[in-house]
Amino acid sequence: MATDGPPWVVGQNCTLTLAHPMVNAGAQRGFYVKSDTWRVSLPRVWYRGTNAAPAIPGSPIGAGTRILEGVIHCRDGLLHVDGTPSAQTAAQWRTALWAYLGQVGSPMTLVDPGGATWTAVVEEVEDRLSTGGRTFGRAWEVRVAWVEVVA
């Protein structure tokens, strides 16, 4: 029976993990990606913004650098893969996510829904309040775009 982590394991109690040395003592933290929103692209040209500038000095970014993008659910009543409900509220999910998103220009480790590990830096964030058509029951959907940091 899955429970809220730690440990956070992709495919059991989350679909994506983030780790950063300045957040949670460097331990991984799990999150849920909205179905059919995760994508990894390899653009021909990507002009990085100011958020990624400290980690990726050149613009446009070099060939072979990937853009990772998805929408993270932060809502009450999230269900783990086995159907067990999460004990965390929408606000707790969102607060934990923003601890990572606040690390602007600093690379973090990301394990995606497919189990691939990436070193990436946050490039874009779009935070949307979504009530799902109800008056009660707060939820956020946070679209995040990361740029892969290539050594």
**In-domain check, residue 2:** no
**Is residue 1 included in any domain, yes or no?**
no
Query: Does the structure show a pLDDT above 90 at 108?
Result: yes
Rounded CA separation 114/112 (Å): 5
Q: Is 7 within the bounds of a domain?
A: no
Closest Cα to residue 28, out of 14, 2, 8?
Answer: 8
What is the distance between the alpha carbons of residues 94 and 100, in angstroms, rounded to a whole number?
A: 10
Among all chains, which residue has been given the structure tokens 């220009």? 105
Would you place residue 34 in the very low, low, confident or very high pLDDT band (cuts 50, 70, 90)?
Answer: very high
The residue segments making up the domain with residue 78 are: 16-148
If pLDDT is split at 50, 70 and 90, which confidence band does 51 have?
low
CA of 114: how far to CAs of 62, 73, 85, 89, 136, in Å? 24, 17, 22, 26, 33
Q: Is pLDDT of 115 > 60?
A: yes
Name the pLDDT band for 104 (thresholds 50, 70, 90).
Answer: confident
Q: How far apart are CA 67 and CA 40, in angstroms?
A: 6
pLDDT of residue 70: 97
The confidence band for 132, taking pLDDT boundaries of 50, 70 and 90, is low
Q: pLDDT tens for residues 12-31?
A: 899 999 999 999 999 999 99
Instruction: Look at residues 41, 150, 23 and name the one whose alpha carbon lies nearest to residue 97.
Output: 23
Tell me the two tokens of residue 32.
């849920």
Position 3 in a domain? no
Task: Say if residues 10 and 17 touch (Cβ distance below 8 Å).
Answer: yes
110 domain residue, yes or no: yes
Number of domains comprising the chain: 1
In a domain, 117, yes or no: yes
CA 59 – CA 61 distance, rounded (Å): 5
Q: Is residue 4 in some structural domain?
A: no
Domain assignment present for 68: yes
> 52-94, pLDDT tens digit by residue?
666 776 667 777 788 999 999 998 888 888 888 999 998 999 9
